[in-house]
């Protein structure tokens, strides 16, 4: 029997590619857009990252597609409704990256609290001759962290923040108590924005969370509060954020994600001193990326060989095939 054809649009280490070749025929490897596009009509599976947009029109050019295996947990690059309507399973990599994104979020909280970037610049730039003395930070202990989106990553952030003595409140569509995190209190979004010393965003991007944080929400935050975004750039209305930062209606923002990515050369956030910018590195550790690749490959192989994948967003598609 011939092996199912798949587009492998992310780089895989040789060993993993060999494993995959045992059951799959990779008709394209690598992210060259022209090669990926040309292979769509034959593709039964696609292994891709968020860098490959898969709107309905593109799915229409892939009539044989049975599975999209996304390298990442966020699937906002994929038109999920269109994929489901076409009987295409959409798989992702939940859980294996939660710790890495939560670690980065805590790193940002500590960097903000201890003014690490300002103080590092101070040390390089003339210390010890400089006056005034290095700027003082603040203790996370006793400060209020507001988590917007209390899913896998939001909860992993809460667990870590408690170890630094922070109090945690959260806002989510689901507000049932979470085992082991019963002391974290669910609150309406406005209350969270008004009370928090640090607001950290961990929702998935969909129409309900697009520009969830706009001018109205930023105006509710304390002038001393920081906004952290390690979810998706479009969860925040970026022009409203620039304005709030210019007017100092909030103290600053630490952003791992932007809209668009990479930012335009004239993006005002690039030049603002009360902003920390990172190039979308939430899951970027050796161990986490390896675990994500492994899970994405297992998802692809499982669906194309008629087995249950480790993680599927629309399992009804698989149930309908059984
Ligand atoms: P998750 O599904 O476990 O958590 C998302 C939470 O957001 C859920 O609890 C959901 O109920 C809540 N939510 C959804 N819509 C909401 C709304 N309108 N208001 C309030 N809450 C709402 O997902 P996760 O595994 O925690 O990942 C969250 C997101 O983090 C991903 O979708 C992805 O976009 C982002 N992410 C970023 C990086 C990075 O590199 N920066 C890495 C991994 C994930």
> What confidence tier does 77 reach under pLDDT thresholds 50, 70, 90?
very high
Q: Is 317:84 a contact under the CB 8 Å cutoff?
A: yes
> Active site residue: 58, 232, 293, 298, which one?
232
Say if CB 214 and CB 159 are below 8 A apart.
no
According to the 3-state scheme, what is the secondary structure of the chain? CCCCEEEECCCCCHHHHHHHHCCCEEEEECCCHHHHHHHHHHCCEEEECCCCCECHHHHHCCCCCCEEEECCCCCCCECHHHHHHCCCEEECCCCCCHHHHHHHHHHHHHHHHCCHHHHHHHHHCCCCCCCCCCCCCCCCCCCEEEEECCCHHHHHHHHHHHHCCCEEEEECCCCCCCCCCCCCEECCHHHHHHHCCEEEECCCCCCCCCCCECHHHHHHCCCCCEEEECCCHHHECHHHHHHHHHCCCCCEEEECCCCCCCCCCCCHHHHCCCEEECCCCCCCCHHHHHHHHHHHHHHHHHHHCCCCCCCECCHHHHHHHC
pLDDT of residue 49: 97
CA-CA distance, 281 to 261, in Å (whole number)? 12
Is 261 annotated as catalytic? Answer: yes
Q: What pLDDT does residue 175 have?
A: 83
Residue of minimum CA distance from atom 9 in ligand 1: 151
Q: Which of 21, 216, 248, 261 is catalytic?
A: 261
pLDDT given for residue 177 in this prediction: 86
Q: Does the C-beta of 119 come closer than 6 Å to ligand 1?
A: no
- Dist. CA 205 → ligand 1 center (Å): 7
Assess whether pLDDT exceeds 80 at residue 111.
yes
Residue 314 Cβ < 6 Å to ligand 1: no
Could you count the other beta carbons within 10 Å of the beta carbon of residue 83? 22
- In tens, the pLDDT along 115-169 reads 999 999 989 888 877 678 888 999 999 999 999 999 999 999 999 999 999 999 9
Indicate which atom in ligand 1 lies nearest the CA of residue 76. Answer: 34
Question: For residue 133, how far is its CA from the centre of ligand 1 (angstroms)?
Answer: 40
Q: Distance from the CA of 305 to the center of ligand 1, in angstroms?
A: 30
* 221-266 confidence digits (pLDDT tens): 999 999 999 999 999 999 999 999 999 999 999 999 999 999 999 9
* pLDDT, position 214: 98
Could you tell me what percent of the chain has a pLDDT over 70?
100
Closest ligand 1 atom, residue 284 Cα: 40
Which residue's CA is the nearest one to ligand 1's atom 40?
Answer: 282
| Ligand 1 in reach of 203 Cβ (< 6 A) | yes
Q: Is 230 in the pocket of ligand 1 (CB under 6 A)?
A: yes
| CA–CA separation, 128 and 134 (whole Å) | 10
- Tell me, yes or no, if 280 is annotated catalytic: yes
pLDDT at position 129? 72
| pLDDT at site 46 | 98
Q: Ligand 1: does its nearest atom lie under 6 Å from the Cβ of 257?
A: yes
Fold of 98-277: Rossmann fold (3.40.50)
Of ligand 1's atoms, which has the minimum distance to the CA of residue 97? 43
May I ask the CATH class of domain 5-96+287-321? alpha beta
Task: Confirm or reject: Cβ of 256 under 6 Å from ligand 1.
Answer: yes
**172-187 average pLDDT score:** 93
Per the prediction, the chain carries an average pLDDT of: 96
pLDDT value at 1 more than 90: no
Mean pLDDT, residues 84-102 taken together: 98
To the nearest whole percent, how much of the chain has pLDDT over 90?
93
Q: What pLDDT does 85 receive?
A: 98
Q: Is the C-beta atom of 100 inside 6 A of ligand 1?
A: no
Task: Report the interhelical angle of 286-304 vs 98-113 (nearest 10°).
Answer: 150
Return the ligand 1 atom nearest residue 174 CA: 11
Distance in Å, CA 260 to ligand 1 centroid: 18
Q: Does the predicted TM-score (pTM) go above 0.85?
A: yes
Cβ(297)–Cβ(47) under 8 Å?
yes
Nearest residue (by CA) to ligand 1, atom 12, is 149
Task: Outline which parts of the chain fall under CATH 3.40.50.720.
Answer: 5-96+287-321, 98-277
């Amino acid at each position: 029997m011939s092996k199912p054809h798949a587009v492998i649009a992310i780089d895989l280490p040789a060993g993993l590619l060999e494993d995959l070749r045992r059951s799959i025929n990779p008709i394209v490897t690598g992210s060259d857009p022209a090669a990926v596009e040309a292979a769509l009509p034959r593709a039964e599976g696609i292994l891709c990252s968020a860098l490959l947009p898969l709107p309905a029109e593109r799915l229409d050019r892939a009539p044989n597609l049975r599975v999209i295996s996304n390298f990442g947990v966020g699937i906002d690059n994929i038109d999920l409704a269109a994929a489901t309507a076409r009987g295409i399973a959409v798989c992702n990599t939940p859980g294996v990256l939660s710790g890495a994104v939560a670690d980065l979020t805590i790193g940002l909280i500590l960097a903000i609290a201890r003014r690490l970037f300002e103080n590092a610049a101070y040390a390089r730039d003339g210390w010890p001759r400089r006056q005034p003395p290095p700027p003082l930070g603040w203790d996370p202990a006793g400060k209020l962290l507001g988590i917007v989106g209390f899913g896998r990553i939001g909860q992993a952030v809460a667990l870590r923040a408690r170890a630094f003595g922070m109090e945690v409140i959260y806002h989510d569509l689901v507000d049932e108590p979470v085992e082991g995190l019963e002391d974290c209190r669910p609150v309406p979004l406005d209350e969270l924005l008004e009370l928090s010393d640090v607001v950290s965003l961990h929702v998935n991007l969909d129409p309900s969370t697009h520009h969830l944080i706009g001018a109205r929400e930023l105006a509710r935050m304390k002038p001393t509060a920081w906004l952290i975004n390690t979810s998706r750039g479009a969860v925040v209305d970026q022009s409203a954020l620039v304005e709030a930062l210019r007017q100092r209606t909030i103290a600053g923002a630490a952003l791992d994600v932007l809209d668009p990515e990479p930012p335009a050369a004239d993006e005002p956030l690039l030049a603002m001193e009360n902003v920390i910018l990172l190039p979308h590195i939430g899951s970027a550790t050796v161990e986490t990326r390896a675990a994500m690749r492994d899970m994405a490959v297992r998802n692809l192989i499982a669906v194309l060989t008629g087995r249950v994948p480790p993680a599927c967003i629309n399992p009804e598609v698989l149930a309908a095939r059984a």
